[in-house]
Amino acid sequence: MLQRLETSTAPFMSSPDTALEYVLPSLGSTPIPVIVDSPHSGRHMPDDWRLACDPYFIRQRTEDCFIDAVCSGAPHIGAHFMAAQTARAYLDVNRPVSSLMPTDLKPPVRILKPSGARDVNARNGRGLYWRICMVDGQRIPIVRDADIPDESAVLKRIRFLWSPYHRQLQSALRGLLRQHGIAVHFNLHAFYPTGRKNQPEIVVGDLHGRSCARWLTQLAAMHFVKHGYDTAINAPYPGGEIIRLAGAPCSGLHSLQIEIRKDMYMDSVSLEPNSGFWRLKQVLENLFLAAGRTARTGTHINASSLG
């Protein structure tokens, strides 16, 4: 039987001021053509979402806890930073708006076009909004069948959460491109440690070369390896909807996803930062700075790929 562990972790935010947090480079910093985003660290759970499970499991299994905090130093080194404020279980900005099963919406459905079973995330209950989370091999319902939203409710989430997030990111990238002639985007995530042998500690994903130039992927991968992290490229996380929409390397827009195993910086049971938090924070800030300087000077590396 699943039981909630008592922790000191605070509950979900009661209400955010906006759908996202956006922070400009700090005064006195030297601007670099970099924006960092954390789309899955939001903790606001709107009142119209009737949960069928303990919020602890939603935080443990769906939220990228503290990724926004790990990246919070980006403005101090001259980068832009943004983070979603609403829990991804309610609306996942890293999914296409079609990432739904037909049964995820109360009929009638007239506007949205659910992708259905061909979308593996939707099929597994982890589409545009999350219906289940996996805990110890069990499928735990997040929302009961009787409480699934109708089309108008989902369209409202898209209008007030999904669209503003992507609009802000696109605007920031275009602004950096105009100012510097190039824009670098780091899309930060976290994944749950499975305990399986050979599970990497960090995965950098560029949609197999489609979302950024090779120099950026190599710079990031080698940076993490240099600092002792077991790092993989594109496996098992090549990237999601955010970098698919943001990256256009032929136009100077370079978007790279970084997935970090949670035990590198936090305790996955107590949901509190661990001793690796500050080290990872510094490693990431150094990466953002190195990528920004490399992009700005045009001294792109030409390194051989990692195994």
CATH number for 261: 3.40.630.40
DSSP string over 40-109: T---B--TT---SS-HHHHHHHH--TTHHHHTTTGGGGT-EEEEE-B-TTT--TTS-TT---GGGSBSP-
113 lies in some domain: no
Q: Which of helix, strand or coil describes residue 129? A: coil
Q: What pLDDT does 195 receive?
A: 83
Q: Is the pLDDT of residue 2 over 70?
A: no
Interval 52-63: pLDDT, tens: 999 999 999 999
Between residues 65 and 2, the one the model is more confident about:
65
Total structural domains within the chain: 1
- pLDDT confidence of residue 36: 98
**Strand 266-267 to strand 272-273: parallel, antiparallel, or no bridges (unpaired)?**
antiparallel
pTM attached to this predicted model: 0.92
Q: Flag whether 175 is in a domain.
A: yes
14 within domain boundaries: no
Residues 6+ apart with CB under 8 A from 174: 183
Question: What secondary structure, in 3-state letters, does 180-241 show?
Answer: HCCEEEEEEEEECCCCCCCCCCEEEECCCCCCCCHHHHHHHHHHHHHCCCCEEECCCCCCCH
Q: Is the pLDDT of residue 305 over 50?
A: no
Question: Is the CB of residue 23 less than 8 Å from the CB of residue 85?
Answer: no
Q: Look at residue 23 and tell me whether its pLDDT is greater than 80.
A: yes
Tens digits of residue pLDDT in 156-208: 999 999 999 999 999 999 999 999 999 999 999 999 998 888 899 999 999 99
Q: What is the model's pLDDT at position 213?
A: 97
In a domain, 306, yes or no: no
Residue linked to tokens 């699934």: 148
CB 253 within 8 A of CB 173: yes
Q: Indicate if the pLDDT at residue 32 is higher than 80.
A: yes
**How large a percentage of the chain has pLDDT more than 90?**
85
Question: Which residue's entry shows tokens 């970084």?
Answer: 258
Decide if 89 is inside a domain. Answer: yes
The answer to whether position 263 is within a domain reads yes
Q: What is the structure's pLDDT at 17?
A: 54
User: In 3D, which of 76, 86, 94 has the Cα closest to residue 255?
Assistant: 94
Please check whether residue 161 is in contact with residue 48, taking contact to mean a CB–CB distance below 8 angstroms.
no
Range of the domain at 73: 20-94+151-297
For the segment 215-224, what is each residue's pLDDT rounded down to a tens digit? 999 999 999 9
134 has a pLDDT exceeding 50: yes
**Cβ–Cβ under 8 Å, residues 212 and 221:** no
Looking at the chain, the whole-number percentage of residues with pLDDT higher than 70 is 92
What's the mean pLDDT when you consider all of the chain? 91
**Residue 208 covered by a domain:** yes
* Bridge partners, 272 (sequence order): 267
Average pLDDT of the residues in 207-212: 98
Domain assignment present for 109: no
pLDDT for residue 3? 35
Residue 30 pLDDT more than 80? yes
What CA–CA distance (Å, rounded) separates 177 from 174?
5
Q: What confidence category does residue 296 fall into, taking pLDDT thresholds of 50, 70 and 90? A: confident
